[in-house]
Amino acid sequence: MTVLTQQAMWRDRQNIYFGDRGLIVCTLLLLGFGLVMMTSASIEIASSDFGDPFYYLKKQIVFTCMGGLAGLVVFCIPMRLYREWSMPLMFVAIGLLILVLIPGVGREVNGSIRWLDLGFMTLQASEPAKLFVVIFIAAYLSRNHEFVTGSWKGFAMPLLFIALPVVLLLREPDFGAVVVLMLAVFGMMFLAGVKLYQFVLLIAGAGAAAAALIFSSSYRIARVQSFITALSDPFHEDVVFGSGYQLAQALIAFGRGEWLGVGLGNSIQKLYFLPEAHTDFVLAIIAEELGVIFVFILLALFMVFVWRAMMIARHNEQKGDFFPAYLAYGIALIFVGQIVINIGVNIGLLPTKGLTLPFLSAGGSSLITCMVMVALLLRIDYENHARENNLKRVIKR
């Protein structure tokens, strides 16, 4: 084998796409850690309810495999097709949110109708719906960039497009999904170049609408009142014995764990003291068993994950490929919204709201959707990598 042939083979190996290493490593670490901690948090309730302490672990492994297969399919589809399919995907999102509200079709849990029973799993319609809406908005912004950033009418159009999904989500009700979706869409518009004063007015309008929604519902008012009381005294009797019960138990978990935790599997709060310990409040169990230091490590992992997603978006934006750039921004902001809200709820900085922690909380819909979003980010990065390699070959010729 000649030296020139060896050099050519070495260049070909260098051009092979291995993915964004930071994104992949963070995803794998979060998935593995999530399986361990979700199992630890659910082992008692699984043993009591199903006679199998590893019931939720087995389900989560199945969902992980399903998410991996779905992600593989998503990765193999060119980004131009997602842009072309953005309108049908928007209709699918609206259809899913309508189906949930049809009596006899949607499944009600704890007073909310958010799930569709598929037999082998229950699908939380808001999870894929958020992604489909973000794909549609990314396509719209890329096609109408100057219109959106250059006029009030263009500025208003994306808001009109998300109005129906937001109304349907509020009917379930799923206020947390509404906040995450609006954060993603507002952030995409801002990064697309919407004028700052327009963005400030948008935030003010959204805040006024959120306040109106809170005061239109007695249970939301109760949660806010409990939250305000908890800010000054989280163990006030109105909090502990009212709608702030979960918050109080979560704070006890953080307090018991201190810096280094009580040891993996040794949580007391998961023994029916803290409801939804394996879903919405898995972070509190992590803090109790492994300590606040490990929570900081987990936060660092999430920060690196989001940073890599933002860098993928930035690279495409710099090259003028706006659809994948805005889509990557939107996906990153979905993760940011869910992470910030879940952590804020667990530590008492936000009112109690049911929202999963990506990759860590039990639940098939959330996990599969998260893995699909990672696959989309990798596809965006892959196409960017392929374009750069093609450009290098052209320059060499």
Tell me the pLDDT tens digit for each residue of 104-120: 887 877 667 888 888 77
Lowest mean pLDDT among 24-33, 233-242, 367-376: 233-242
Cα separation, 128 vs 206, in Å, equals: 23
Residues in Cβ contact with 67 at an 8 Å cutoff, skipping those fewer than 6 apart: 367, 368, 370, 371, 372
Contact in structure between 45 and 272 (CB atoms under 8 Å) = yes
Cα separation, 88 vs 71, in Å, equals: 20
Token pair for 333: 């902001």
Residue 299 has pLDDT above 70, yes or no: yes
Residues in Cβ contact with 75 at an 8 Å cutoff, skipping those fewer than 6 apart: 375, 376, 378, 379, 382
What's the confidence (pLDDT) of residue 17? Answer: 65
Mean pLDDT of the chain: 86
Q: What angle separates helix 55-75 from helix 364-396, to the nearest 10 degrees?
A: 30
Residue 7 has pLDDT above 70, yes or no: no
What's the confidence (pLDDT) of residue 8? Answer: 47
Share of the chain above pLDDT 70, in %: 88
Q: Which of 97-111, 268-282, 295-309 has the highest mean pLDDT?
A: 295-309
- Residue ranges with strand state E in 242-327: none
Contact in structure between 16 and 304 (CB atoms under 8 Å) = no
Lowest mean pLDDT among 54-68, 70-84, 236-250: 236-250
> Tens of pLDDT along 39-51?
999 998 999 888 8
Residue 180 has pLDDT above 80, yes or no: yes
The model's pTM is: 0.91
Residues in Cβ contact with 318 at an 8 Å cutoff, skipping those fewer than 6 apart: none
Q: How many CB atoms lie within 10 A of CB 338?
A: 25
> Tens of pLDDT along 18-27?
677 899 999 9
> How would residue 277 be classed by pLDDT, with cut points 50, 70 and 90?
confident
> How would residue 10 be classed by pLDDT, with cut points 50, 70 and 90?
very low
Contact in structure between 241 and 14 (CB atoms under 8 Å) = no
> Tens of pLDDT along 300-338?
999 999 999 999 999 999 988 899 999 999 999 999 999
Token pair for 81: 């097709």
Handedness of CA 135, 26, 24, 193 (dihedral sign): positive
Lowest mean pLDDT among 135-149, 201-215, 241-255: 201-215
> How would residue 5 be classed by pLDDT, with cut points 50, 70 and 90?
low
What are the domain boundaries of the chain?
Answer: 20-387
- From 153, 21, 79, select the one nearest 326 (Cα to Cα): 79
> How would residue 9 be classed by pLDDT, with cut points 50, 70 and 90?
very low
189 or 211: which leads in pLDDT = 189
